[in-house]
Amino acid sequence: MSEEAALDSRQRRLRRRLRRRPGFTVINDESVRPVRRRERSFLHSFDKPMLGIVLLLLVIGALMVFSATWDWSNQTYGSAAGFFVEEHLRNVAIAVAALVVFAIVDYRFWKRFAVWLLVFTLIALIAVRLFGEDIFGARRSFTGGRLQPGELAEFTVVFYLAAWLGSHSARVRSFLYGLAPFSLIVGTIAFLIILQPDLSSAAIVALTAGVMFFVAGANIIHMGAVAAAALAIGLIVVQSWQYAQDRIANFLVGLSDITLTDYHTLQAITAFVRGGWFGVGVGQSQQKFGALPAPHTDSIFAIIGEELGVMGAAVVVALYIAFAIRGFQMARQSKDNFGALLCVGFTSWVIIQALLNIAVMTGVVPSTGVPLPFISFGGSSLLVVMIGVGLMLSVQRVATRRKSASERRSDIANFDRSWRNRRSRLSRAGNRPGAASNEG
């Protein structure tokens, strides 16, 4: 054997031994590179962009809730920070703890409770109608407004539809097994919410469910029929309640003369006018002193506009846009349809709420009572939204844990944008376990 052949044989044996050893990789015939195994810490497994967005919204919310309540808190609690500390920070602490728990636990564990959650929500909606507290002519809550089954219903619709539509047995494009049960579930929950009456929550339920049904691959003709039926029912409901007619009438009048619009919208617009581009300064709002109804809940975006100006309000809007982008990215990276629909549903739910609240405060739609997610003061509303984010973070953790770094760079989701395709409009990774069975 020649000297060159012997050298080549030794190199081949060396490469075979190195390939068997963890931590090394062969680059070419002459070089070997050690590869360090990167251990993922507990905190590193959480999605940093989503956590950053939510944290910023919570900080802005805490700042504005304190600013909007310090005078009232001083009169009620004897301390400017009494209400803020005893109520809002407590709610935030509970909500953050719930987010962490639901982010740590595999989201697929909770799927088995979807039916029970739906049953419990239906019972709660019936109970609030029978035994709830009468506040401003409506029965929507228990315990002084802290527990509102309507907000739980919004969460339940997202969670249950994700479990049902994401299952391999769901035939979404079928009328009998798709449209009919979808309409029954969503229609029943929306009807019970309307009876409170709470038209804004019913609208949020219907819009969020519609987005999820479409993304899951619903027939476009069926979607059109659902939209037409929802519009017809909405018109009937508006004709049945005088307060709804008054709000719409005031809104239409305000389109031609803003001074004739309803009181709430007029005071909100006044707050934006006073704030200008850069605001009057944190804590310097005048509209919160009795002029603007519910300044720490439904009207908090107007307080932001007055104290932080148009630029501050634009930052809040930008954060919601970033939340939407990241939420849909997380849906694309999910390993199954259940996780993808959870991310789509909760992202749509938060954005629809934010859009309605901002639209009301700027006079774009008739006045409704919708909190601003993560920012408005609230117990049950903040809790269910944070649990939703926790489930989204769990979806991301599971997807990241099951893919290597090289797979994450090359795994580009393929969304189906054609309504003629009978498959779901969700992303389907080629290496997803059970992908073939889910396409049925």
Query: What pLDDT is attached to residue 175?
Result: 80
The answer to whether residues 368 and 311 touch, using CB atoms and an 8 Å cutoff, is no
- State yes or no: pLDDT of 368 exceeds 60: yes
Phi first, then psi: give them for residue 215, nearest 5 degrees: -65, -35
- State yes or no: pLDDT of 410 exceeds 70: no
**Structure-block tokens of residue 31:** 């070089």
Choose among 156, 117, 110: nearest CA to 345: 156
Residue 35 — very low, low, confident or very high, per pLDDT cuts 50/70/90?
very low
How does the average pLDDT of the chain come out, rounded? 79
Q: Give percent of the chain with pLDDT exceeding 90.
A: 29
Least confident of 75-84, 132-141, 311-320: 132-141
Choose among 330, 317, 328: nearest CA to 48: 330
Q: Environment class of residue 253 by beta-carbon count within 10 Å: exposed (0-12), middle (13-18) or buried (19+)?
A: middle
Query: What pLDDT is attached to residue 395?
Result: 92
Residue 318 — very low, low, confident or very high, per pLDDT cuts 50/70/90?
very high
**Structure-block tokens of residue 139:** 């029965």
**Mean pLDDT, range 299-320, rounded to an integer:** 91
End-to-end CA distance of the chain: 61
Residue 438 — very low, low, confident or very high, per pLDDT cuts 50/70/90?
very low
**Mean pLDDT, range 409-435, rounded to an integer:** 44
**How far is Cα 100 from Cα 104, in angstroms, rounded to an integer?**
6
Query: What pLDDT is attached to residue 235?
Result: 82
For the chain, the C-alpha Rg in angstroms (whole number) is 26
* Of 12 and 236, more confident: 236
Query: What pLDDT is attached to residue 168?
Result: 64
Residue 425 — very low, low, confident or very high, per pLDDT cuts 50/70/90?
low
Q: Is the pTM of this model over 0.75?
A: yes
**Mean pLDDT, range 373-392, rounded to an integer:** 90
Query: What pLDDT is attached to residue 412?
Result: 40
Residue 169 — very low, low, confident or very high, per pLDDT cuts 50/70/90?
low
Where do we find the tokens 């049925």? 440
Least confident of 139-153, 156-170, 279-293, 299-313: 139-153
Query: What pLDDT is attached to residue 405?
Result: 44
* Of 85 and 341, more confident: 341
Q: In b/e form, how buried is each residue of 311-346, taking b as 16+ CB within 10 angstroms?
A: ebbeebeebbebbbebbbbbbbbbbbbbbbbbbbbb
Query: What pLDDT is attached to residue 34?
Result: 47
* Of 324 and 289, more confident: 324
* Of 253 and 287, more confident: 287
**Structure-block tokens of residue 383:** 């809790």
State the helix-helix crossing angle for 90-104 and 380-401, rounded to 10 degrees: 30
Q: Give percent of the chain with pLDDT exceeding 70.
A: 75
Query: What pLDDT is attached to residue 430?
Result: 40
**Mean pLDDT, range 417-436, rounded to an integer:** 44
Residue 3 — very low, low, confident or very high, per pLDDT cuts 50/70/90?
low
Query: What pLDDT is attached to residue 143?
Result: 66
